[in-house]
Structure 1
Amino acid sequence: MQSVLTEKLWAYIVHNNPDLMISLQEDYSVTRYLEEKVNAVLPMVEQLLGEGRAPYIIEELCLNAMTEELQPSRYQYIRSVIEEEFNGDYERMKENGTLTYEVVNLIETCKGIFSDFDFNSENETNRHLRYAIIGQVHDYLA
């Protein structure tokens, strides 16, 4: 179960938080981070196994617990803004292979905005947040 959880967590990070992935790789701390996260949910695994829960349910519940602080994804948020509002730039970056790199750079560029709005799942649909991000992306791409 530990190896499955580790693989699922890493896949989640690669897909939704490439900025974290890059940071962990630069610090050579991928293994430590994954082990800490998985070890933190092992009591939950034991409890759910004791309750007779199906493995796929245990995996999903544990993945949700391990990724709670990573949600919502700033990467996915910015990526969707670029795709919807700057589609020509989105397609160009996608074609030349720089989309992930540029979105990761934009996460850093938009850090203050995310902080000012206290970006979380309750306010990710806030139109003022979206407008602020659109403005920052526009400035970045100009």
Structure 2
Amino acid sequence: MRKQLKEKLWAGICRNHPDLMFALQQKRRVDIYLDQKVSSALSTAKSLTESGYSQSVVLDICGKQLALDLGPSRYWYIVSVLSQEFESVYAGLKDSGLLLIEAVNLVSYCKPTFRALGFSAEREDDKQIYLAITGMISEYFEHQ
């Protein structure tokens, strides 16, 4: 169960939080991080298993719990803003294969703004956050 949860968590991180993926790889902390996160879900997994749920249901429930702990994807938020507000930049980055790297760089650049404005699942649609991140992206490209 632990192995499957680690694999599920890592796949979710790679798909939805590539900024975290790169940071963990750079610090060589992938296994440590995954072990800590999965350990936090094992009691739930054990309880569900003892209640008679199948392994696939347990993996699904615990995987969703682990994903919720990560919060909304700042990466995909940035990509969304790029595609809506900076269409030509987005297209150029996508065509050149640099979208992933630049979006990850933008997540780091915008991190203080995300934190200051309390970016969360509840505030993902907040216009103030959208405008602030749009301004940060504009500033980022002006300095490139």
**TM-score range, shorter-chain basis?**
over 0.9
Instruction: Give, in angstroms, the shift of residue 138 of structure 1.
Output: 1.5
Q: CA offsets, 1:30-61, max 9 Å, x none? A: 11111111122111111101111132221121
Partner residue in 1 for 2:4: 4
Q: What is the number of residues matched between the two proteins?
A: 142
Instruction: Give, in angstroms, the shift of residue 64 of structure 1.
Output: 2.0
Instruction: Give, in angstroms, the shift of residue 127 of structure 1.
Output: 0.6
Partner residue in 2 for 1:35: 35
What code does the residue aligned with 2:39 have? Answer: N
Give the Cα separation in 2 of the matches to 1:54 and 1:95: 43
Matched position secondary structure for 1:12 = helix
What code does the residue aligned with 2:97 have? Answer: G
Q: TM-score, normalised by structure 1?
A: 0.93
Whether 2:101 is the aligned partner of 1:101: answer yes
Partner residue in 2 for 1:89: 89
Identity %: 37
Gaps of 5+ in 1: none
Q: CA offsets, 1:111-131, max 9 Å, x none? A: 121112111111110111101
Gaps of 5+ in 2: none
Q: Would you identify which runs of 4 or more consecutive aligned residues in structure 1 move more than 4 Å?
A: none
Cα RMSD of the aligned pairs, angstroms, is 1.3
Whether 2:63 is the aligned partner of 1:73: answer no
